[in-house]
Copies of this chain bind each other. A is one copy, B any other.
């Protein structure tokens, strides 16, 4: 990598440009998802997407992540090695919606899917469930096109509820939660899965009637 900022001002400028690109990526992917949801509503009279949240990772979190990977806090490392700087969370009602949305995203031929992690089929040991897609989206700037990475997390409302409590616990105990808390959290994750299963099967049943 030959990139080398010649001064601090250049570094600040480059940081602003990078932020601009990731922000634009959030807007672009957000617009795409809105359009797909509108189309789905038009064809199936049903909104698969309950709501969407998007966020840009804070500089503090980015630096922390780089440190945890034993990497220097440079803009190059961040662009190369931190995949969730731009993050979009898609919340839906049923597990089946998750795969429908994932499929619609995969079908977009201007997006490139770099990686998929299906934590629904294979939950994390903590109990975490969610469907993650790492995609790149082309951002049309005035004189060039830049590909920007966006992490899309798709999950049900119940999984999302659980995940926000789990996040709070992880943050509070810095990853070292007491055993009984961890156990209780896994117990809650099971209840979330049972509820999602039961609600989905009920929904499927009434669709057939």
Q: Give the interface of A toward B (CB within 8 A).
A: 16-17, 20, 23-24, 27-28, 31-32, 34-36, 38-40, 42, 51, 93, 104, 107-110, 138-143, 145, 156-158, 160-162, 164-165, 168-169, 172, 178, 181, 184-185, 187-188, 191-192, 194-195, 198-199, 202-203, 205-206, 209
Q: Is the CB of A39 within 8 A of B20?
A: yes
Q: How far is B159's CA from A49's CA once the two chains are assembled, in angstroms?
A: 18
Q: Is the CB of B181 within 8 A of A107?
A: no
The 5 A-B pairs at the shortest CB distance, nearest first, are namely: A24-B35, A31-B31, A191-B195, A108-B140, A104-B142
Q: Select A35's contact among B40, B140, B191, beta carbons within 8 Å.
A: B140
Q: How far is B187's CA from A205's CA once the two chains are assembled, in angstroms?
A: 15
CB-based nearest B residue for A35? B24
Assuming A165-B199, A198-B187, A199-B165, is B142 touching A209 (CB within 8 A)? no
Q: Is the CB of B185 within 8 A of A202?
A: yes
State the oligomeric state as a number of copies. Answer: 4
Q: Select A162's contact among B17, B156, B199, beta carbons within 8 Å.
A: B199
* A-side interface mostly: helix
CB-based nearest B residue for A104? B142
Q: Is the CB of B188 within 8 A of A199?
A: yes
Q: How far is B23's CA from A107's CA once the two chains are assembled, in angstroms?
A: 20
Assuming A158-B161, A195-B191, A198-B187, is B39 touching A35 (CB within 8 A)? no
Q: Is the CB of A142 within 8 A of B203?
A: no
Provide the residues of chain B in CB contact with A104, threshold 8 Å: 142
CB-based nearest B residue for A192? B195
Assuming A160-B157, A165-B203, A206-B181, is B195 touching A39 (CB within 8 A)? no
Q: How far is B205's CA from A168's CA once the two chains are assembled, in angstroms?
A: 12
Provide the residues of chain B in CB contact with A143, threshold 8 Å: 107
